[in-house]
């Protein structure tokens, strides 16, 4: 009797946990739809959810949505690969090799304080409005979180562990592979997560300045024709992609850091 009651209580709790987070968005959506239908919200300001859904259907059917999403995702990933890769390499170099830190770190810290978006006028002068400009902006933005966290991760590996490993005869590459790199990995992954967030922000700005394809182009084009429903589809798409990137980063952390106390809650 008691056990059954407890089980029922547990089920109810789980239900609450699953349903509650969606309650607020659902209410907002309902209010939005209602406001549009009642005529309080002009379609020019914000189209009703139903219209957004229809626009999504149209864009999917015509293949525009898939094409533009692919183009944007390709740009984002290319920028991440270039900027993140460089950040990782330089972070490893300055973290492991003291002269490299002395030579590079203070310059990099100076450049870090320039907001990447402040570079837009220069970037347009250098690259025009080509793919190069977008790639550069994204790469510049994602470089620093990964660089800083890699450097910091390597420097904050417990010196006691390094001393222990040295006294057990580990040298050079073995020491990096067994001790320093695994010790720095949690910090590197935090950097990656920051970078993934920045990556979309920079891409959105780069694509709205000038582009002939991609989600940013789609929304800017729609704005010219007052298709607010398409603009909203683009915004929602960015939100979805951002969430997806975060999920990937989290899955990566779980896969790479099975030993971490944060992932040992349920055993």
Partner 1 sequence: MNALTDAQALRPAGRPETPRAAEPAEAAAVPRGAAPGPVPATATAAAPLATPAVRLRGLDKRYGDRPVLRQLSLDIEPGSFVAIVGRSGCGKSTLLRIIAGLESADAGEVHVATPAGSDARGGAGQPGVRLMFQDPRLLPWKSVIDNVRLGLPRDCLARARAALADVGLLDRAGDWPAVLSGGQRQRVALARALVHRPQLLLLDEPLGALDALTRIEMHGLIERLWREHGFTAVLVTHDVQEAVALADRVLVIDAGVVDLDRRVPLPRPRGRGTAPFAQLESEVLGRVLARPS
Q: How far is the CB of 72 from partner 1 (least distance, A)?
A: 36
Nearest to 86 by CA among 125, 136, 25: 136
Q: Which is nearer to partner 1, 130 or 163 (CB)?
A: 163
Q: Which is nearer to partner 1, 102 or 264 (CB)?
A: 264
Residues forming the site for partner 1 (CB under 8 A): 158, 160-161, 163-170, 178-179, 182-183, 185, 257-261, 264, 267
Q: Which is nearer to partner 1, 63 or 172 (CB)?
A: 172
- Apex CA 125: angle with CA 129 and CA 75, to 5°? 35
Q: How far is the CB of 187 from partner 1 (least distance, A)?
A: 13
Distance between CA 203 and CA 199 in Å, rounded? 6
Q: Which is nearer to partner 1, 96 or 209 (CB)?
A: 96
Q: How far is the CB of 152 from partner 1 (least distance, A)?
A: 18
Helices (H), the chain: 2-37, 49-62, 64-96, 98-112, 120-127, 131-155, 159-167, 172-175, 181-209, 215-224, 228-256
Q: How far is the CB of 98 from partner 1 (least distance, A)?
A: 18
Q: Which is nearer to partner 1, 76 or 92 (CB)?
A: 92
Distance between CA 41 and CA 245 in Å, rounded? 33
Q: How far is CA 190 from CA 110, 240, 246, 263, in A?
A: 22, 20, 11, 15
Q: How far is the CB of 153 from partner 1 (least distance, A)?
A: 13
């Amino acid at each position: 009797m008691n056990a059954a009651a407890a089980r029922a209580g547990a089920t109810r709790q789980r239900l609450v946990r699953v349903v509650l987070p969606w309650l607020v968005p659902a209410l907002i959506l309902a209010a939005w739809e209602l406001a549009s239908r009642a005529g309080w919200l002009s379609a020019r300001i914000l189209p009703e959810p139903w219209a957004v859904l229809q626009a999504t259907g149209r864009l999917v059917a015509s293949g525009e949505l898939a094409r533009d999403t692919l183009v944007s995702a390709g740009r984002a990933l290319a920028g991440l690969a270039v900027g993140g890769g460089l950040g990782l390499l330089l972070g490893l170099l300055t973290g492991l090799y003291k002269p490299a830190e002395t030579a590079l770190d203070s310059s990099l810290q100076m450049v870090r304080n320039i907001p990447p978006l402040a570079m837009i006028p220069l970037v347009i002068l250098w690259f025009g409005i080509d793919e190069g400009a977008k790639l550069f902006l994204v790469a510049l933005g994602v470089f620093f979180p990964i660089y800083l966290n890699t450097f910091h991760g390597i420097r904050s590996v417990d010196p006691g562990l390094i001393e222990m490993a040295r006294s057990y005869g580990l040298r050079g590459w073995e020491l990096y592979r067994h001790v320093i790199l695994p010790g720095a990995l949690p910090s590197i992954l935090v950097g990656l997560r920051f970078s993934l967030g920045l990556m979309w922000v920079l891409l959105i700005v780069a694509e709205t300045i000038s582009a002939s394809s991609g989600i940013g182009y789609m929304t800017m084009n729609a704005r010219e024709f007052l298709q607010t429903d398409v603009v909203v589809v683009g915004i929602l798409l960015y939100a979805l992609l951002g969430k997806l990137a975060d999920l990937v980063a989290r899955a990566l952390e779980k896969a790479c850091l099975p030993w971490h106390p944060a992932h040992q809650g349920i055993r």
